[in-house]
Amino acid sequence: MPWNLKSDRPIYSQLIEQIQQMVVSGIYPAGAKLPSVRDMAAEASVNPNTMQRALSQLETEGLLYSQRTSGRFVTEDAEKIMQTKNELAVSLIHEFITKMNQLGYDRQQTVSLLGSVMKEEEQNG
Amino acid sequence: MDSILECRNLTKYFPGCLALNSVNLAIPKGQIVGLLGPNGSGKSTLIKLINGLLTPSGGEIDINGMKPGVETKKIISYLPERTYLNNWMTVQNMIDFFGDFYADFNKAKAYDMLQRLHINPNDRLKTMSKGTKEKVQLILVMSREAELYVLDEPIGGVDPAARDYILDTIISNYSENASLILSTHLITDVEKILDGVIFINAGNIVLTSSVDEIREKENKSVDALFREVFKC
Amino acid sequence: MLGKLIKYEWKATQRIFLPLYGLIVLFTLINKAFFVFNFDKTSGMALVPFVITMIIYCVLIAATGIVTLVVSIQRFYKNLLGDEGYLSFTLPVKPHSHIDSKMIVTLIWTLLSIAVAALSIFILAVNSDTVRDFSEFCAAVGRFFSQYGFQAYGLLIELIVLMLVSVLSGTLEIYAAVTVGNLSGKHKLLAGFGAYIGFGVVEQIVFSALFNAGKGFDFTGGYGQLSFDKLPFAAFAAGFGVLILYSLVFGAAFYFFTNWMLSKKLNLE
C-alpha cells in the first residue's frame, strides 16, 4: 500500500492523516498491533523520527496507545475510530466545498450537482 | 554529550580561497541531516575536516567530544564521492579488509546486502562497472555499526531502483545512537528521510532547519526552497 | 594495526614479485640446463635459443631492481595520495603507520630481490671450475672470523645495520620526494623527480663536508698500511658508524617531513 506524500506539506501531518485513514478503513482495525516505528518508516520511506512524531501525536489524540513491552496498538474504542472517520470526512467535504466555490458554484448548485453525479454513478453500477 | 558533531568557529582556508568561514554547527545524535549547497560551497571541505582528511585553519571541530584522529575514525563511517576501492581485490577481500580494521563492521549484514543487490562476492573489483563499485562501497560503509555516517553524494550515479534501496537502507539502519550526514544534489528524492537540513554557501551556513519546519513555514518542499535560495 | 597494514601491503605487492621471482627461477634453470649441456660452447644457429634465454634472464635480473623501485613508488603514491587515500586515511590508524608499513615491506622485497638475484647468479656461475675458487673464498672468510672473533662479527653486524638503514633511508627519501611532487598540480612526476634530485644535492653537500672532515682520519689505525693480520677495527667501526649515523639522520628527517605532510598538509583531490 503506497504512501502518498506531497512535497509541500509537512511530512508528519501527512503521515498522521494516512495512518488515520488506514485505521478508519480497517487496514489497521481496532485493537490491531502496529508494526514498529522503524518498519513503518521504512514502508513509507520516511525518517523514523518523523514517523515517531506522527505516532506520538496520534497517541496523544487517543487513536493509538502504546504498551511499554508489547508495542503500539490501535484503540479498541470504536467510538473514537468513528469520530476520527467523521473528522476525516468533514475535512474532505470542507475541501470539496472550497474547491467548488473556487470554480464558481454556490451552495445550492454544489448540492444539486453532487446529487445528480451520485445518481448517475448508481445507474452505471 | 548530546551532539555527535560540533563545530565552533571552524575556519579553513587554502591559498587564495576561504573555504569555511567561522562555521558554527551542532548535530545531535539520532538524526539524519542533509548538507545541501552548490559546488564550491564548502561542503566537501567540511566533510573532509570531519574525517580528519584536512586540518582546520582556525576554530574547533569535535566528533563525540573528541578531536579528529584515530578514535574518531573508529566511529565514523565515510562514503566519499569518489571510488576509493583498489582494483586487485575481490569483494570478499574488501569485506575481510573492513572487518580487519573496523571492530564495528558487520559481515553478515554486508553479505546480505550484496545478495539483495545481486553482487557476487568473488568478483574482482577490476571487472565491475562504476555503478556496481559504488554499490559495493555503499554496502561496506552501511555495514558498519558506526556512530556517525557521512555520505557524500550516495545516490548520484545510481539507477532509481537502487536509489530507493539505498534510501531504505539508510532508514532501516537508523539508530537513535547514531547520526547520518548526507550531502547531495538530489534533494527531492532525499527530503522525506531527513530530519533536518543545513544549507551552506560560500563557506557560510545559510540555513539550519528541520524539513517539516520548512514545509510548514514556507509551504514548499526543501528542494523548492533550495532552488529559491540558491538561484543562479 | 601496523601488522594488518603490513599484511595488506604484502598482499598488494606479492602478486607482482612472486611471479617475477618465479620467472627468474625458471630462466635460471633453463640457462643452467644450457650450460650443463654445453650449449654455450656451440656456435651458429644452435646458439640462438640460448642467447635469447640469456638475454631474457639478464633483463629479468635488471628488472627486479627496477620493479622493486617502481612498486615502492607506485604503492606509496596510489594508495596514499590517489583516490585510495580516501580509504587509507580514514582507517583508524595514525598516518605514520602507513609510512612504517610501506617502508618495512619495501625493505623486505629489496632484501628478497637481492637474495633471489644473487642466488640465481651463483647457481649459474658455479661449476666444477668455480667451485674451487668459491670454497677457497669461503675458507678465507672463515679464517677471518675465527681470527678476529667478536670484532669481526661486530663489523659484520654494523655492515648489516648500515645496509638496512640505508635501504630504509633511501626509501624514505623517495617517499618524501613523491610527497613533494604531489604538491604540484600538473607536473607531479617532474616535481617529484626534481625534489629527489634536490635532496640528493643536499646529501652530497653534507657528505662532502663529512668527507673533508674525515680526511685527516687515519683509516689504517696507525699501522701505516692495511694487512690481513693488523686490521684497524676501531677505525672501520667508526667509519661504518659515521655512515650509519648519516643515513639515520637523513632517514629521520625524511620520515618526519613525510609524516608531517601526510598529517597536517594532506589535501586529497
Q: Give chain B's domains with CATH numbers.
A: 3-229 (3.40.50.300)
Determine which of A97-106, B39-48, B115-124, C233-242 has the lowest per-residue pLDDT on average: C233-242
Residue A28 and residue A50 in one domain: yes
Q: Tell me which amino acid residue B113 is.
A: M
Q: What are phi and psi of C81, to 5 degrees?
A: -110, -10
pLDDT at position C34, please? 82
Chain C residues in contact with B85 by the CB 8 A cut-off are 84, 87
Residue A66 and residue A87 in one domain: no
Measured CA to CA, the distance from residue B128 to residue B161 in angstroms comes to 19
HSE-up (13 A, CA, CB side) for residue C221 = 13
| Residue that the C-alpha cell 537502487 belongs to | B162
Q: Which domain holds residue A117?
A: 79-123
Name which of C8, C92, C264 is nearest B97 (Cβ-Cβ): C8
Partner-chain contact A10 B212, CB within 8 Å: yes
In a domain, A5, yes or no: no
pTM: 0.88
Chain B residues in contact with C264 by the CB 8 A cut-off are 55
* CA-based R_g, chain A, Å: 18
Residue A68 and residue A16 in one domain: yes
Q: Are B166 and B134 in contact (CB under 8 A)?
A: no
* CA-based R_g, chain C, Å: 23
Number of domains into which chain A is organized: 2
User: How far does B73 lie from chain C, in Å, by closest CA?
Assistant: 5
* pLDDT tens digits, C158-193: 999 999 999 999 999 999 999 999 998 888 889 999
Per DSSP, which regions of A44-108 are E strands?
Answer: 64-67, 71-74
Partner-chain contact A48 B171, CB within 8 Å: yes
A interface test, pick of B189, B213, B215, B219 with most A CB neighbours within 10 Å: B215
Residue B99 has pLDDT above 90, yes or no: yes
Q: Are A23 and A84 in contact (CB under 8 A)?
A: yes
The helix (H) or strand (E) run that includes residue C61 is helix C47-76
In terms of average pLDDT, the best of A2-11, C66-75, C151-160 is: C66-75
Instruction: Tell me the three cell numbers of residue B107.
Output: 559481515
* pLDDT tens digits, C237-264: 888 888 999 999 999 999 999 999 999 9
For residue A7, what is the DSSP state?
S
Instruction: Tell me the three cell numbers of residue B195.
Output: 530530519
B interface test, pick of C90, C261, C265 with most B CB neighbours within 10 Å: C90
Name which of A12, A45, A49 is nearest B168 (Cβ-Cβ): A45
Name which of B172, B221, B224 is nearest A38 (Cβ-Cβ): B172
B interface test, pick of C91, C94, C184 with most B CB neighbours within 10 Å: C91
Domain extents for chain C? 1-125, 148-269
In a domain, A6, yes or no: no
Q: Domain ends where: A55, A77, A99?
A: A77
* CA-based R_g, chain B, Å: 18
Q: Are B103 and B50 in contact (CB under 8 A)?
A: no
Q: What are phi and psi of C178, to 5 degrees?
A: -65, -40
* pLDDT tens digits, B167-194: 988 988 888 889 999 998 888 889 989 9
Measured CA to CA, the distance from residue C170 to residue C166 in angstroms comes to 6
Instruction: Tell me the three cell numbers of residue B54.
Output: 584536512
Question: What SS3 state is found at B14?
Answer: strand
- Over residues C116-145, mean pLDDT: 85
Residue A59 and residue A107 in one domain: no
pLDDT at position B45, please? 94
Chain centre to alpha carbon of residue B144: 13
Q: Tell me which amino acid residue B13 is.
A: Y
Per the rule left: phi > 0, alpha: psi between -120 and 50, beta: everything else, A104 is left
